[in-house]
């Protein structure tokens, strides 16, 4: 009579392990697909700019845009940084990857 209860235990254990694997997969996928906030990306970009000197102003749009460069396509945030260079206010606009915060494109305006 102990055999039926041990097979039920093995089935329950198998179901539990399978459920754990499936839920871990989806939880990992959800984390990987999550975008950084616009505020966090702006902080990251400002930190890099501050290495070269003080910043006068900055901004970032909170809505995402699609950025495509050849076969590469990703969601991005658009923003800007202003600072003085040689006593002249200079503005830069940038596009930053929404998942990593990496600057994809930067241009002096």
Domain ranges of the chain: 1-34, 35-108
For the domain spanning 35-108, the CATH number is 3.10.450.40
| Chain position carrying tokens 């950025």 | 67
**Chain centroid to CA 58: how far?**
20
Per-residue model confidence (pLDDT) at position 19: 59
What SS3 string covers 8-43?
HHHHHHHHHHHHHHHHHHHHHHHHHHCCCCHHHHHH
Mean pLDDT per segment of 10 residues, for the chain of length 109 residues? Answer: 62 64 57 84 95 95 95 95 95 96 95
- pLDDT at residue 15 in the model: 72
> What integer pLDDT is reported at residue 9 of this predicted model?
66
Tell me what pLDDT residue 60 has.
98
């Amino acid at each position: 009579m102990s055999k039926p209860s041990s097979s039920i235990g093995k089935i329950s254990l198998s179901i539990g392990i399978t459920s754990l694997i499936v839920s871990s997969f989806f939880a990992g996928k959800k984390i990987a697909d999550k975008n950084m906030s616009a505020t966090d990306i702006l902080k990251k970009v400002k930190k890099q700019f501050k290495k070269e000197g003080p910043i006068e102003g900055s901004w970032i749009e909170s809505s995402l845009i699609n950025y495509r460069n050849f076969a590469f396509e990703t969601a991005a945030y658009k923003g800007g940084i202003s600072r003085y260079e040689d006593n002249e206010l200079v503005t830069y606009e940038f596009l930053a990857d929404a998942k990593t915060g990496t600057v994809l494109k930067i241009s002096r305006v």
